């Protein structure tokens, strides 16, 4: 792909930029393309030249498709190196996070299929029990992955999934890091009321 020029679509740019700004809380129009963010980004080598500054530019120009499907949006680690270095205090990590959410809202599959399943499993587990039990949470994550593979009829993936995750579990087991104790919080009612309140809110 390399660095193809972005599409500028004025109407789309207006609406899209406003939504990204509201959801990410970042004043991205202040970006003057100095690229300080680019030099520190730890994944920039693997994103087909999409550095944080270019991600900002894509959004401002309203190239929605590129913004939602480029590699930085999906590979960003949320490490905030870009944000601490930006002279205009733009946290591109939060923009990438917002774009991931917008992509998922738009029905675009995540570039790492397990991204969505992992965070979903973690979040749901914390809502359900009030605390994370690692084995239970990873179990839910696993089931979500399996379900995805099943829907796609991908049985080879199921086998390699089981193999790789059991290696991880075995490593943790050997290092005495796997615990079978169960803990939870009684505050689950409060948490569930808060969750109901959050329904339909796209930003805080």
Partner 1 sequence: MDLAYYPGCSLYQSAMLYNHQTRLIFARLGLHLHEIDDWSCCGATSAGKINDFMAIALPARNLGIAENSGFSELVIPCAACYSRTVVAQKQLQDFPLLKNEINQELSQKVKDNIRVSSTLDVLQREMGGGRLAAIDLEKLEGFRPACYYGCMHTRFPYDVPVADNVENPRAMEEVLKAIGIKAVDWNYKTLCCGASSVIYNTECALDLMAKIMRDALARDANCLVVTCPMCQMNMESQQEKFCTKHNIKERLPVYFITELIGMAFGFSKKDLQPEDDMFTTGMDWTQLCGDSV
Residue 38's CB is within 10 A of a number of other CB atoms, namely 19
**What does 72-87 look like in DSSP terms, one character per residue?**
HHHH-----HHHHH-T
Does residue number 168 form part of the binding site for ligand SF4 (CB under 6 A)?
no
Minimum distance, C-beta of residue 98 to partner 1, in the bound complex (Å): 9
| Cα dihedral sign, 81-93-124-198 | positive
8 Å CB contact between 194 and 201: no
The Cα 97–Cα 91 span in angstroms is 10
Q: Which does 33 bind (CB under 5 to 8 A by kind): partner 1, ligand SF4, none?
A: ligand SF4
Question: Strand, helix or coil at 177?
Answer: coil
Minimum distance, C-beta of residue 8 to ligand SF4, in the bound complex (Å): 18
Q: Which does 182 bind (CB under 5 to 8 A by kind): partner 1, ligand SF4, none?
A: partner 1
The distance in angstroms from the start CA to the end CA of the chain is: 35
Identified binder of ligand SF4 from the candidate list 20, 21, 50, 52, rule CB under 6 A? 52
28 alpha carbon, distance to own chain's centre:
19
Which positions lie near partner 1, rule CB under 8 A? 23, 25, 42-43, 46, 75, 77-81, 83-84, 89, 91, 93-94, 97, 100-101, 112-115, 117-120, 122-124, 126-134, 141, 168, 171-173, 175-188, 190-195, 197-198, 201, 203-204
Which positions lie near ligand SF4, rule CB under 6 A? 31-37, 40-43, 52-53, 56, 76-82, 86-88, 90, 92-93, 96
């Amino acid at each position: 792909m390399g660095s193809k020029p972005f599409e500028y679509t004025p109407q789309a740019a207006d609406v899209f930029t406003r939504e990204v700004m509201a959801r990410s809380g970042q004043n991205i129009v202040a970006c003057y393309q100095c690229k300080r963010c680019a030099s520190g980004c730890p994944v920039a080598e693997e994103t087909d030249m999409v550095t944080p500054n270019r991600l900002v530019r894509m959004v401002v120009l309203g190239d929605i498709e590129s913004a939602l499907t480029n590699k930085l949006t999906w590979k960003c680690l949320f490490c905030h190196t870009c944000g601490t270095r930006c002279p205009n205090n733009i946290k591109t990590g939060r923009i990438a996070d917002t774009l991931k959410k917008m992509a998922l809202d738009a029905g675009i599959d995540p570039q790492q299929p397990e991204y969505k399943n992992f965070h979903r499993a973690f979040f749901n587990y914390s809502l359900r029990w009030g605390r994370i039990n690692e084995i239970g949470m990873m179990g839910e994550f696993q089931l979500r992955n399996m379900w995805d593979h099943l829907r796609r009829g991908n049985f080879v993936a199921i086998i390699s999934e089981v193999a790789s995750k059991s290696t991880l579990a075995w490593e943790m087991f050997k290092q005495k890091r796997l615990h079978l104790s169960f803990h939870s919080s009684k505050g689950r009612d409060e948490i569930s009321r808060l969750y109901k309140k959050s329904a339909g809110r796209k930003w805080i």
